[in-house]
A = this chain, B = another copy of it.
């Protein structure tokens, strides 16, 4: 049975890291939900916008695989760029969509957690101060609707770069959001906080860059696996990413990747046949 995780929140959960900035993660044990069915994961996983790219869930899943050899993990992409907590209210479309996707996934997987990153759109003083109250209701509703009363929820902090860029004026209250996110993990059972400390952004100063998303995913996994808050960068995060990057592809994965290249027009039929015969 696939171990599945729901991805929810806004653009930094969907992922906006540039695709070519980090080594790809391709692992037949990592799946993503497409049309209610599982496919081998290829980024972008959460295709909410044309700018979708590297997110934290891929390295979360790869770190999970280091600890769970030969088992399968599945990612359920439901994050939506620019969404506020009010957009995630339990009578809204995003919540309903996420529940419908998670329920489809539950037919063929065991739902084991929610990966949440959201808050940029609530980084005004008024909205930030109501974060805990609103988010608690959302978590309760997820757990109730999905019949998973103790479902772990991992939530990450906002980046310290937000106020530096051309859109910086919108994010004056981001430290309040970060405080409220931490408060949530005190008041909501089985909810863990992950720091974004030290992570950097794309030139837009809005979105974690690809390398930072990879690190963030490793931190999210540490929080999930050990039921603890990650309040400082992990000493071993770079080493874990090296292990992920150095994993050898299986024969099946090599064949699938060749097929993807051929089907995408990046490899001629002749070259495809030649490369395939070498495996």
Contacts and interface: CB of A to CB of B under 8 A. Distances in A.
A100 B51 CA distance: 25
A34 B79 CA distance: 10
A13 to B, nearest CB: 12
Q: Report how many copies the assembly holds.
A: 2
Interface in A35-80: 35-37, 39, 42, 47-51, 53, 78-80
Contacts of A268: 203
Interface of A (DSSP majority class) = loop
Interface stretch (A90-98, A117-125, A130-138, A188-196): A90-98
Contact of A264 (B18, B42, B93): B18
B50 A47 contact: no
A238 interface: no
Contacts of A53: 264
A35 B78 contact: yes
A104 B264 CA distance: 31
A249 interface: no
Nearest to A41: B50
Nearest to A50: B42
Contacts of A107: 93
Contact of A37 (B94, B108, B262): B94
Identify the 10 closest CB pairs spanning chains A and B, nearest first. Answer: A36-B97, A42-B50, A36-B93, A51-B263, A35-B80, A47-B47, A18-B265, A100-B100, A35-B97, A34-B48
Interface of A: 16, 18, 34-37, 39, 42, 47-51, 53, 78-80, 93-94, 96-98, 100, 104, 107-108, 166, 202-204, 207, 260, 262-265, 268-269
